[in-house]
Structure 1
């Protein structure tokens, strides 16, 4: 049997620390009609599920967390427990679809069965239908989830944007390693010196990054309605912008797609704070930004390979262009400070610690009322071309992030074909304005695109 890594198992421990939290990630595909016959559709899903081991496996846990959970084949696997059918009430618009997504994502997955669900959704207007895939975060991070999702499509070889990220250019075995010494004895002295120098440089960088991350978590952010206890119910909304517009902004201001996305989020959250009668300040928007450390040769592995950064987004700035430039500077500082390296080394080292120690530590830490982070924004590269499922074109893919640890909202960003899509999940009671957050993101990109000329 295959063990979960300590990072994978950490998502289970974090979920256990709050009965109102469901740590599942989702992907909502909206397709052109007509919808295939349901029996044909389920049979097609079944054929694809056979090739994904995690979809046929259950968790085997140990008493008192004395050992890491293990994956084992479910001898009673029944597809009908996982593939469900639903119909939206008339008129079947996006508001009804988003309401259904929020309802499904608020419920925990049954740990006695494989940790995934698939909802086939009928009744959408404009001759559309949808498929919602829900997977527990202990199975996969954002990139791995997109690879699993792509395998449910008609072609699993579609090119993806994930080949362009920094980690993709590294080997899975060397992402956080030092240079090897080779086989030639004459090169050992120089090789050992380079290895020692590289190790010292990486260690010093990681220490600095670890101090920044620790300080960001422990130092309370500006008190606001964005951070606090959550209920068991969720709301969902989405924003969609053209990648062409984002690319023009990037070229004009010499920034990255991630800079533009986070600047748009900054603008929208600033407006939300003002709408709620709160004054945006310098520490109002400390944001957890997961960073992939997944290389191309680990693209097909179903696990979590992420580090993190904790930038404070400039919600105190009013001008959208100033926000964008400030985001670019702050992300550059976070990248150069070693935050990513610190997180990657911490994850690698955690697997050397006995599992009971890490399990109990994660559970204890996630029970504490953290006040340093107010939201999460994760960027997931998706397929470069539009997918098809059972011969039907996937018009749009909406990512759905989880929320936990007193974060009342979370944003997942996905590049799909010619669009950049923002999926926003919020607590039902504390974030009733998720639709306004979505419209604020779209408006911010429009303003920046106009400024780009």
Structure 2
């Protein structure tokens, strides 16, 4: 028998008074951020995607120790899930949030066989949740020996990368629930700052010979480098770690495609203000940036990247993107956002997750954290850089019609070494990283 409990205890992080075996969500004091332009855009992308799972993304955690039972994992998630309202609410036909009266933790936290490796989300989720339930799943990967894993994927219309990382901290690290602020931020005039970026979406990207006919099938590749090396390059060149990453990506794209022209990519930016780091939901803008792939000299590429991704330009882009989302009707700005997923306008997407603190799952330490990218309709390649502990890992998701995708991941790691040499950063004995992996 299913029921809908309204006790306050669950909302503050405890178990429902009727017991931990409750299979439905308890009325939470928290609520998701109101649906907006991004919600509608991601829902539209789901309808246009070859597979509904294509709009799901998340993280894979590789852990040490003996794996917990799925019952233990479900009990832990159930004890905290009320503090992450996007995981207990559903989007109804009117695209409005409402609590799921039939929530069952057993439908969301599952067991999956196979190695603890990055793979396309659809391999874990051949049957994505219907919209009559919250749009997320979690899998316990028992693994072998002293290594096991946990994969977490959520619909991009529900959470962004910052929201995903925060949800993990709330569920497993005791972090407080997220705040919600539905007030419009930024005036319609501020949205004018987004106009140059929107106009850039009208330009075509150079034709890249590695992009064949899209098949609708997916493959994953990863490569890793030491975080310390990225920071040392950034310090030596007086740029940010994010800029170093994109310069390495420029060199990798140049190697991969052989193109002798700058290549535009889509770079998601977090539009939260500094006092909104705990704000849940989807709060991002999409910026079209030309990677300096036409430039062979690595230090020259760094200087160009610093100009094109200066703090002033990126700050203006964030302000404009936020005002665009808050003030501009879907029918006007939605098409521009969707063009940023069109490979005829941008070659790929280069996203970066914020650094994650040390995590543990039910007392078992998390050794490695990997991003699980998604793929917009018409897009051929989506990359996410995740930094955890001493390692920075690039995850690359491509359509199988994109040739040599493993070369992009491998080339990125190689270009980090090239940049280190050009910047005079001496390698250290501990500067080792995980090998390239493909699935």
Q: Same fold (TM over 0.5)?
A: yes
**Pairwise CA RMSD of aligned residues?**
3.2
1:219-298 to structure 2, matched below 5 A, reads 219-225=203-209, 230-274=214-258, 280-283=259-262, 285-298=263-276
| TM superposition shift of 1:318 | 2.5
2 CA distance for matches of 1:229 and 1:81?
36
The residue that corresponds to 1:402 in the other structure is 374
1 CA distance for matches of 2:342 and 2:70?
45
Q: Is the 8 A contact 1:309 1:334 kept in 2?
A: no
Structure 1 residue 120 and structure 2 residue 120: aligned?
Answer: no
| TM superposition shift of 1:413 | 1.7
The residue that corresponds to 1:378 in the other structure is 351
2 CA distance for matches of 1:334 and 1:261?
19
Structure 1 residue 111 and structure 2 residue 126: aligned?
Answer: no
1:47-446 to structure 2, matched below 5 A, reads 47-62=79-94, 69-88=95-114, 92=115, 97-99=117-119, 101=121, 103-104=123-124, 108-124=128-144, 127-156=146-175, 176=186, 207=192, 209-225=193-209, 230-274=214-258, 280-283=259-262, 285-332=263-310, 335=313, 338-350=316-328, 353=329, 357=331, 362=335, 371-383=344-356, 385-427=357-399, 429-431=400-402, 433-446=404-417
Q: Is the 8 A contact 1:154 1:390 kept in 2?
A: no
Seen in structure 2, the aligned counterparts of structure 1 residues 228 and 220 have a Cα distance that, compared at 3 Å, is farther
2 CA distance for matches of 1:245 and 1:19?
38
Seen in structure 2, the aligned counterparts of structure 1 residues 172 and 223 have a Cα distance that, compared at 3 Å, is same
2 CA distance for matches of 1:245 and 1:83?
37
Q: Is the 8 A contact 1:238 1:438 kept in 2?
A: yes
Seen in structure 2, the aligned counterparts of structure 1 residues 146 and 226 have a Cα distance that, compared at 3 Å, is farther
1 CA distance for matches of 2:171 and 2:292?
39
1 CA distance for matches of 2:65 and 2:341?
47
Secondary structure of the residue aligned to 2:149 is strand
1 CA distance for matches of 2:222 and 2:417?
16
- TM-score, length-normalised on structure 1? 0.77
Q: Say which of 415, 419, 423 aligns to 1:448.
A: 419
Q: Is the 8 A contact 1:370 1:405 kept in 2?
A: no
| TM superposition shift of 1:73 | 1.2
Unpaired segments of 5 or more residues in structure 2? 1-30, 426-439
The residue that corresponds to 1:165 in the other structure is none
Secondary structure of the residue aligned to 2:250 is helix
Seen in structure 2, the aligned counterparts of structure 1 residues 38 and 254 have a Cα distance that, compared at 3 Å, is same
Q: Is the 8 A contact 1:6 1:358 kept in 2?
A: no
Q: Is the 8 A contact 1:228 1:408 kept in 2?
A: no
More helix by share: 1
Q: Deviations over 1:346-403 (max 9, x none)?
A: 11212xx4x6x469x64996699661111111122132x3111100111111112211
Q: Is the 8 A contact 1:103 1:234 kept in 2?
A: no
2 CA distance for matches of 1:44 and 1:366?
40
Seen in structure 2, the aligned counterparts of structure 1 residues 128 and 20 have a Cα distance that, compared at 3 Å, is same
Q: Is the 8 A contact 1:281 1:316 kept in 2?
A: yes
> Greater relative contact order (Cα 8 A, min sep 6): structure 1 or 2?
1
| TM superposition shift of 1:325 | 2.5
Secondary structure of the residue aligned to 1:10 is helix
Q: Say which of 43, 51, 57 aligns to 1:12.
A: 43
Q: Deviations over 1:190-247 (max 9, x none)?
A: xxxxxxxxx9xx75xx64x544323321111111246676443321222222221111
Q: How many residues align?
A: 389
Q: Is the 8 A contact 2:339 2:345 kept in 1?
A: no
Seen in structure 2, the aligned counterparts of structure 1 residues 331 and 156 have a Cα distance that, compared at 3 Å, is same
| TM superposition shift of 1:105 | 6.6
- TM-score, length-normalised on structure 2? 0.79
Secondary structure of the residue aligned to 1:219 is coil
The residue that corresponds to 1:37 in the other structure is 69
2 CA distance for matches of 1:107 and 1:265?
33
The residue that corresponds to 2:78 in the other structure is 46
Secondary structure of the residue aligned to 1:410 is strand
Seen in structure 2, the aligned counterparts of structure 1 residues 339 and 301 have a Cα distance that, compared at 3 Å, is closer
2 CA distance for matches of 1:78 and 1:370?
39
Seen in structure 2, the aligned counterparts of structure 1 residues 379 and 172 have a Cα distance that, compared at 3 Å, is farther
Seen in structure 2, the aligned counterparts of structure 1 residues 128 and 53 have a Cα distance that, compared at 3 Å, is same
1 CA distance for matches of 2:127 and 2:397?
13
